[in-house]
A and B are shown apart, each in its own frame.
Chain A
Amino acid sequence: MRRIHYAWIVAAVTWFTLLAAAGFRSTPAVLIVPLQHEFGWSRATISIAVSINLMLFGLFAPFAGGLMERFGVRRVVVGALLTVSAGSGLTVFMHQPWQLDLLWGVVVGVGTGSMATVLAAIVANRWFVQRRGLVLGALTAAGATGQLIFLPALAWLAVNMGWRTAALVVASAALLGIPLVALFMRDRPADVGLRAYGATEADEPAPPLRNPVRAALGGLAMGARNRNFWLLAGSFFICGASTNGLIGTHLIPASIDHGMPEVTAASMLAFIGIFDVAGTMISGWLTDRLDSRWLLFWYYGLRGLSLLFLPYAFGMQYFGLFLFIVFYGLDWVATVPPTVALTADTFGRRNLGVVYGWIFASHQLGAAGAAFAAGAVRTYFGDYQLAFMTSGVLCLLAAGLVIRINRTRGQETVAAAPLPAASY
């Protein structure tokens, strides 16, 4: 029997890393109330730390891409785990709000940002030629699921054992991950004397070592000259605004506004998470076979229509909301595999890390902007109708943007084996 290709081991390690990183990132959500009780800080004060955390999670992505190119994936991930562990562990000693901003906001934000979606994109593209979309889908789904599945356990810990226990558990989990990554993670197939899974020719040579900051800014400069970059970044901005920003943050309060118990509302979000896992895996599988632009066109189009339907769904109570959850949940982060594939198509795989990093930063900017704007709309209007309808219209706009992406490669890219998506 043939030995298992080492690419699958790297994928598995990455999968656990992403799952954990997403869990670390979402931890502050369950700490808000305990911190409020112990220190008497206002929700607005604590939210500043969460906002910093969310912003850095996105804005650090291109620099993480540059760091991985310069120092290698293994070292960066080990460093990130150490950073998260330190940031989370040190919170036990804090007694001032600025310390929370620094630790949970800056330190954990940078640490989790270094392990997030850019890691998934780089691993899938370096190690896989066949099944690339499927692997990317699985890795992305881990990131989305990780934000949901640890929350109940962490909340239970925070309530029954105190928030310090929860913070220490996160710190130890990050420490435990370090040997796993150090032992099994490898930067490139060539490091273990292999080709990428399903590759018929040798991999692109490793790019010359570059200063990570210069690499990140160079990636932005390269992207900014290309029309496809703006189309991808624009549609991903809308993606972030309509998922994490709007629904992730505001579906629960909106449902409570419409007279639904909080637990039911929270379970709805959990169901979105479950449908999302299925949707993202299917999307990865489809990305290996179909034109990514068309996938995105349908994802954004259906998401837009389901958001436009949402104000009416609240009028129909459970049946309407169930319909919404199914349609909306299926493409929560299903947009990631096709977007990565299109980025790789346009800019080549060697530039993928930094360029996709910027596109993902645009995603997080959209998320942060929408989380704030929807809250403001709620405060001002007393209702979310405008926020839901605006995001619905924006998603339709994103459908129009992605379908206008030009598939011919930019001049900056080196000739490389065509991606499976391009062979359609």
Chain B
Amino acid sequence: MAGTAGAALALLPVAASAHAQLVGSSPAPGAVLATLPATVDLYFTEPVTPAGRGISVYGPDGRLVSNGTARAQGVQLTVGLGAAMDGTYAVIWTVIAADTHPSRGEITFSVGHSSPVRGPGLGGGDVGLVSPIGLVLQSLGRWLHFAGFALGFGAATYALFVAGDPRPMRLAGAGVALLLVAEPLALFAQTASFDPAQTFDGDALTSALASSFGRVLGLRVAAAILLWAVLGALRQAPWLRWSIPALGGALALVDATAAHGTPALPQPLGLLLNALHVSAMGVWVGGLAAFAIAPSGGFGRVAAWSAGLLIVSGAALALLHFANPLQVMTTAYGEILLVKLPLVGAALYLAWRARRRWELAALVAVLAVAAVLVSLPPPR
């Protein structure tokens, strides 16, 4: 099973870093032209697919003047224009990066003279290239996903391999439920990130599902359902327990394809590093929750190893995402990371003092911050 998932993963087109950002456009932002060009061309940091129309251009009278859906060609996105009016045009772009992250933005240019910008606009207040409500929903969805991953795979692995006690297995069922709540939430987060008013719009939802995001979402739901199926089969076939950590690893790899890429590393290495980070998290957090139900002396060593792996892989990922140390202070990503580090420190301290309940609380908080972090564009 894990082998098949791995083979499927090898086929995923994952390139570049994360969160497509606009690096250039024709016409340039703020340009004042003599005549309206035939097309608007946008250039991004990485290959993109249009979400919805991809590019919507609104004329000085507030009417949509772009023709249909934008065409994507690698990092370039193009749409034709059909209008002839002097004044300021608003260009709103909505794209999905290869790693499934949504992003949007707005530029303006003028023909003849500038005029007040009409058209719907983005409402302002964008954080990390998406609408604020979209960011909140994305973070919430990822938080539930992380928690579900930890309970579903981590707690079951602890129960089967460390404690040898079936009691924590009900946590695994709860983990499946959390995962199945998290994935639809992620879908609505995707549509809300582009336009909160279209969160439940049929076209927006279908467009999201038909994209690379839809594929990853399908694989995540599949992993949760497969875990549920294996949990049912365990009573009759104890040897199947090996498939639970294997399936967890496969899901961590799926998650890695939708996590921030690391352009400094070869792609498979970056994926493995990300998957390792998520897996170690699952073993530590899920094991801790299961420990509360069925304590076992073996947990200390497992927790120490997974915490160690977690910190080493996390540190490597953090270093790879910053081009220079100053970015820790100047980007939203850096600031959130500064919130995460003391929380991780607190969790480690509580682990060392064996205050298991507080340790778990601290880790749940770390997961929440990590969920925000993954939803923001990294500096690199």
Contacts and interface: CB of A to CB of B under 8 A. Distances in A.
Given A305-B4, A396-B226, A400-B225, A383 B210 contact: yes
Judged by DSSP, the binding face of B is helix
Interface stretch (B134-142, B227-235, B265-273, B291-299): B227-235
B1 to A, nearest CB: 7
Interface string A358-381: 000000000000000000000011
Interface stretch (B29-37, B40-48, B192-200, B216-224): B216-224
Contacts of B209: 381, 385-386
Looking at A291, A390, A400, the one whose CB has the most chain B CB atoms below 10 A away is: A400
A269 interface: no
B210 A403 contact: no
A399 interface: yes
B167 interface: no
Sort A-B residue pairs by CB-CB distance and give the 7 closest, nearest first. Answer: A400-B229, A389-B218, A399-B229, A396-B225, A403-B232, A312-B11, A403-B233
B319 interface: no
Contacts of B5: 305
B67 interface: no
B218 A390 contact: yes
B229 A403 contact: yes
Contacts of A308: 8, 218-219, 222
B218 A392 contact: yes
B226 A311 contact: no
Contacts of B1: 301, 305
A315 interface: yes
Nearest to B223: A396
18 contacts: A294-B237, A305-B1, A308-B219, A309-B7, A309-B8, A312-B8, A380-B206, A381-B206, A385-B210, A389-B214, A389-B215, A392-B222, A393-B218, A397-B225, A400-B225, A400-B228, A403-B229, A403-B236
B4 A385 contact: no
Contacts of A403: 229, 232-233, 236
A382 B221 CA distance: 23
Contact of B210 (A315, A381, A393): A381
Contacts of B219: 308
A338 interface: no
B210 A386 contact: yes
Interface string A311-326: 1100110000000000
A357 B114 CA distance: 73
Nearest to A313: B11
A325 to B, nearest CB: 16
Given A294-B233, A309-B7, A403-B233, 6 more contacts: A308-B219, A311-B215, A381-B206, A385-B209, A389-B215, A396-B222
Interface in B169-214: 206, 209-210, 214
Interface in B269-293: none
B8 A396 contact: no
Classify chain A: how many residues form its interface, as a range.
20 to 34
Contact of A396 (B11, B229, B236): B229
Provide the main secondary structure of the chain A interface: helix
Contacts of A389: 214-215, 218, 222
B11 A393 contact: no
Interface string A259-298: 0000000000000000000000000000000010110010
A360 B215 CA distance: 31
A262 B313 CA distance: 50
A60 B1 CA distance: 38
Nearest to A308: B222
Interface in B1-17: 1, 4-5, 7-8, 11-12
Interface string A392-424: 110011011001100000000000000000000
A400 B8 CA distance: 22
Interface in A8-23: none
A245 interface: no
A301 B215 contact: no
A304 B215 CA distance: 14
A311 B222 CA distance: 14
Interface in A155-197: none
Contact of A385 (B215, B221, B228, B237): B215
A43 to B, nearest CB: 24
A286 B8 CA distance: 29
Given A308-B8, A400-B229, A403-B233, A385 B222 contact: no
A389 B236 CA distance: 29
A315 B221 contact: no
A385 B237 CA distance: 34
A385 B207 CA distance: 11
Nearest to B222: A393
Contacts of B12: 312
Given A312-B11, A315-B11, A385-B215, A393 B232 contact: no
B229 A297 contact: yes
Nearest to B12: A312
Contacts of B232: 400, 403-404
A393 B229 contact: no
A382 B210 contact: yes
Contact of A304 (B7, B206, B222, B237): B222
Contacts of A316: 11
A403 B219 CA distance: 21
A302 to B, nearest CB: 9
Contacts of B218: 308, 386, 389-390, 392-393
B214 A393 contact: no
Contacts of B221: 393
B74 to A, nearest CB: 17
A226 B229 CA distance: 21
Nearest to B5: A305
A386 B228 CA distance: 22
Contacts of B226: 301, 304, 396, 399
Contacts of B215: 311, 385, 389
Nearest to A404: B232
Contacts of A301: 1, 226, 229
Contacts of A294: 233, 236-237
Nearest to A291: B236
A396 B221 CA distance: 10
A297 B236 CA distance: 12
A309 B313 CA distance: 30
B132 to A, nearest CB: 29
A397 B230 CA distance: 11
A383 B8 CA distance: 19
A291 B222 CA distance: 25
B172 to A, nearest CB: 13
A385 B11 contact: no
Nearest to B10: A312
Contacts of A383: 210
Contacts of A393: 218, 221-222, 225
A211 to B, nearest CB: 39
Interface string B241-278: 00000000000000000000000000000000000000
